[in-house]
Amino acid sequence: MNTFRAVAHRGYPVRYPENTLSSFEAALQLNYAYLELDVQLSKDGVPVVIHDYTVDRVTDGTGAVKDFTLQELKRLKVHGKEEIPTLREALELAKGRAIVSVELKQAGDLYPGLEEKTLRVIEELGMREHVYLLSFDHYSITRVRELDWHIPAGITISAASPFLFEAIKAWNLQYFAAPTRYITPAFVQRAEEAGVQLIVWPADTLAEMEKLRAYPSLLATTNELEKWQHYCAEHGMNQATMISG
């Protein structure tokens, strides 16, 4: 029986406010071994967990994340219920329970020091072996490598390209994230030959799940946590569960 690994995207956003402690806890209660979250910096330089560059969509406030201090961000309510968590709070919740995918929401020089401050939190919590860092901003990942050559890291792309495997090797990267629509047998084989963990998103519809079933080496990113589990059960697929220690 193949073991399939799925990443809980922003926790369990279909049922709980995304990127919140309750959303992450729900994913952990469903035995997901991988969690994904997004990191930005508050005005006073604290790594916080939120996806958008503004607080408008998910909170009762308006404005750019970078213009709020941590104290001000904590006063906002996510969908009327919860606080925006710090990276430290989210990692403390997941420590010893899951591997955490930390997406750096860097955009040029929008957040000076984001990489260094994120690495510091990870180091202080002793979680180097239970995280990996990703970003669409590839310069952000090169900064990670300048600061730390060995921490697990990778790049995220919006389109497939064979040339990026050369950069992955040069930067000592272990992860490569791409949209599900670009996954082909040749792409998966190339990643396997390069020793790179290929991550895909989304895996939310039955059609997407059916496509990915042919590639057990993938990490499949899903918002539909229980639907994914039911699909695995119906098709004789074993879902990877919590880590230990």
Q: What is the pLDDT along the chain (245 residues), one digit of tens a residue?
A: 677 899 999 999 999 999 999 999 999 999 999 999 999 999 999 999 999 999 999 999 999 999 999 999 999 999 998 999 999 999 999 999 999 999 999 999 999 999 999 999 999 999 999 999 999 999 999 999 999 999 999 999 998 777 899 999 999 999 999 999 999 999 999 999 999 999 999 999 999 999 999 999 999 999 999 999 999 999 988 877 655 33
Dist. CA 153–CA 171, nearest whole Å: 9
Catalytic residue among 51, 130, 138, 150: 51
Segment 36-67, tens digit of pLDDT? 999 999 999 999 999 999 999 999 999 999 99
Neighbour-count burial for 116-138, b at 16+ CB within 10 Å, e otherwise: ebbbebbeebebeebbbbbbbbb
Catalytic residue among 9, 138, 150, 235: 9
User: Which CATH number fits the domain 3-239, given the four candidates 3.40.1280.10, 3.40.50.970, 3.20.20.190, 3.50.50.60?
Assistant: 3.20.20.190
Active site residue 9: yes
The single-letter code of the amino acid at 4 is: F
Active site residue 130: no
Segment 162-186, tens digit of pLDDT? 789 999 999 999 999 999 999 999 9
* Domain segments of the chain as ranges: 3-239
**Beta pairing partners, 34:** 7, 99
